[in-house]
Amino acid sequence: MLSPFLVVQILCIGLFIYGIRLMNSPETAVTGNLVGAVGMAGAIIMTMVEAQVLTMGVVWAGLLVGTALGVWLSAAVKMIQMPQMVALFNGFGGAASFLVATLTLLEGGLTPFTLFTSALAIVVGGVTFSGSLVAAGKLHGVLHQRPVHLKGHNSYLFVSAAIMVLSTLGLVFQVGSVVLHALLLLVFSHVFGYVFTIRVGGADMPITISLLNSFSGVAGSVAGFALPNGALLVVVGSIVGASGLILTQIMCRAMNRHLMDILLGKTTMQPGAKPAPQAPQAEQPKQEAAKPQGPSWEERLRSAKKVAIIPGYGMALAQAQLQVKQLGELLESRGAEVRFGIHPVAGRMPGHMNVLLAEVDVPYEKLCELDDINAFLEGADVAIIVGANDVVNPAAIELPDTPIYGMPIIRADLAEQVLVCNYDTKPGYAGVDNSLYNLEKVHMLLGDAKDSLAQLLEIVKGEAEPVPAAPSAPEAAPAKDPAALLKSAQRVVIVPGYGMALAQAQGQVKMLVELLQSAGKQVEIAVHPVAGRMPGHMNVLMAEVDIPYELLLEMDQINHQFPEVDVVVVVGANDVINPAANTHEGTPIYGMPVLNVVEAKSVIIYNLDRSPGYAGVENTLYDMDHCVFVPGDAAASLQALVQALKIAG
């Protein structure tokens, strides 16, 4: 007669298998997730009770606490953060496995088979844990997202692997201390996981997450072999490991990658490698040809009969999936056939775009995979790219020596008209310039994706005038309202000085930075080396309020770019921006390198008053036509500016 515990085990296994079966379709995936969760709850309760580890009261208390934490996380974690959460969960699975295996080893009296499976569980679990932490850190921006290559990178991997093999053999044949071997396995499995994952970047990150997901299942399955009652863990771990490996292979095929190349780092650029080449010069005459006569892109969009919308990670960052859905529905109401092109690695995890579009109830049947959307694009009137870059970059089929060469892409270039709703024209995650942007039939709508999509919605409705392809700076003198200047600006540079430190206005500077960034503007902070009363004074103040280091630019980095800046906002700086340093011989600051803010299109100065700075030299910038001077306490002035910008929308 079957014991109740065995019956529960079989039932839980059935729930896991059925749950994964339901996850084959987006329509049943939510139910499948719930079925799997019920199976996991049953497995936990059964295991704890069978092993007499905990009483029923403690089990229920633990379940309540765990459920509360899970509900809180589901509400607190934004959809944009889901990839790093998935990576973190993979790591927790690996950590649980190596902890179980380590405790099993320390119990002693084990057979050679149990010693081997315990060692293997520690290795796979440790690699999974450290690798998943690195992946989560990269995705969350805590670690550098670009591939990191250590000197002798593969040597670290080979040495770590060799030590782990020798320690495993030492355990199996009971040579040396069990504790020492367990410690070596723990340390070098984590080293291996870190070194393996740190050089992954670009399109390979989703593949790596799939592989780590498989590792977490394998680690659990192997750990189950080391336990006397680990049958359930073996089966469940095998299911997770197999499904993760299948997904990894699917991703590799979709990306035209070989798994071994990813493991050995052959798909990422090595340090010192030549930069990615630009588009071939032979194609330039095509770009210089006279523009064909015909309807404008606005008219093409309004009259389009076949439209492909291609979402990418930029859509996720802007949280613009609702606007994408609204645009699709509006075009369909005007008789257009709309399809959404989903690249297998668009985003930061497999299925990222599917999840975001499902979140706003975009019908599943309208989501097309790579082959289907490319066939659709061959006869499409308009392709609308929303925050996608590498996955639509023709360099993948044109430029052999680039990191994305050979990667299958969505052929947006096949459509008659292409609209690009990206934040800017900078290269994507792989660092390759997008040659699509240079095509004559491509129109760029740069800035926050929400704003660009709102513009398209108005155009389709006929409520907006056509948007010029490249708006130029007005010839007339700029408006004197700081909020109006900033609202119309695309690029803003903030220059902090000692007056900001005196007013303790760094918090208001951060608020201004975040508000401008949320409006889709490029914001940077120019730091003069002697702004303040000690080297690095401004850097410290900016770091104090958690302004990202990458926004801080030194004088040599920014000075030649000021002519391209729409608005400079000066906060309590004087001598370090005074043009007299270049023009007034005989003054104390003549010849001193200064920030060339005078060359910007507009300058807004928030200083206490017009008095000369520390050097006692009148600032000639204050009286120039393109300068707006706002006297008063810097903190109060910036607070008023932030409020004015919020009211202006």
Q: Which residues are catalytic?
A: 390
DSSP 8-state symbol, 13: H
Residue with tokens 């499948």: 32
| Euclidean distance between CA atoms 612 and 581, whole angstroms | 13
Q: Is 337 helix (H, G, I), strand (E, B) or coil?
A: strand
d(CA 305, CA 338): 8
- Asked if 127 contacts 187 with a C-beta cutoff of 8 angstroms, the reply is no
Helix, strand, coil fractions of the chain, as percent rounded to 5? 55, 10, 35
Asked whether 48 and 59 are in contact (CB, 8 A), the reply is yes
C-alpha pair distances (Å), 502 with each of 227, 482, 493, 607: 65, 22, 21, 11
Q: Could you tell me if 404 and 398 are in contact, meaning their C-beta atoms sit under 8 angstroms apart?
A: no
For 347, how many CA atoms within 13 A lie in the half-sphere containing its CB? 27
For the purposes of burial, counting CB atoms within 10 Å of the CB of 178, is it exposed (0-12), middle (13-18) or buried (19 or more)? middle
Count, residues in the chain? 649
**Which residue type, as a one-letter code, is found at position 624?**
M
Bridge partners of residue 603, in order along the sequence = 568, 627
Helix (H, G, I), strand (E, B) or coil at 311: strand
Distance CA 470, CA 478 (A): 19
The structure tokens 């870190």 sit at: 194
Residues forming a β-bridge with 337: 306
Q: Can you tell me the distance from the alpha carbon of 553 to that of 495, in angstroms, rounded to the nearest whole number?
A: 10
CB-CB contact of 157 with 195 (8 Å)? yes
What is the rounded CA–CA span in Å between residue 304 and residue 208? 39
Q: Are 410 and 341 in contact (CB under 8 A)?
A: yes
| Residue 204, CB-side half-sphere exposure with 13 Å CA sphere | 25
Q: What is the DSSP string of 227-261?
A: STT-HHHHHHHHHHHHHHHHHHHHHHHHHT--HHH
Cβ atoms within 10 A of the Cβ of 583, count? 11
* CA 620, chain centre distance (Å): 44
CA angle 338, 339, 343 (to 5 degrees): 155
Q: Which of 203, 312, 215, 185 has the alpha carbon at shortest distance from 255?
A: 203
d(CA 530, CA 497): 9
Q: What is the largest CA-CA distance in the chain?
A: 104
Residue 573 dihedral angles phi and psi, to the nearest 5°: -115, 150
Instruction: Count each helix (H run) and each strand (E run) in the chain, helices first.
Output: 25, 12
Q: Residue 79: what residue type?
A: M
Place of tokens 């980095």: 557
Question: Amino acid identity, residue 62?
Answer: G
Cα-based torsion angle of the residue sequence 35, 41, 44, 46 in order, rounded to the nearest 10 degrees? -90
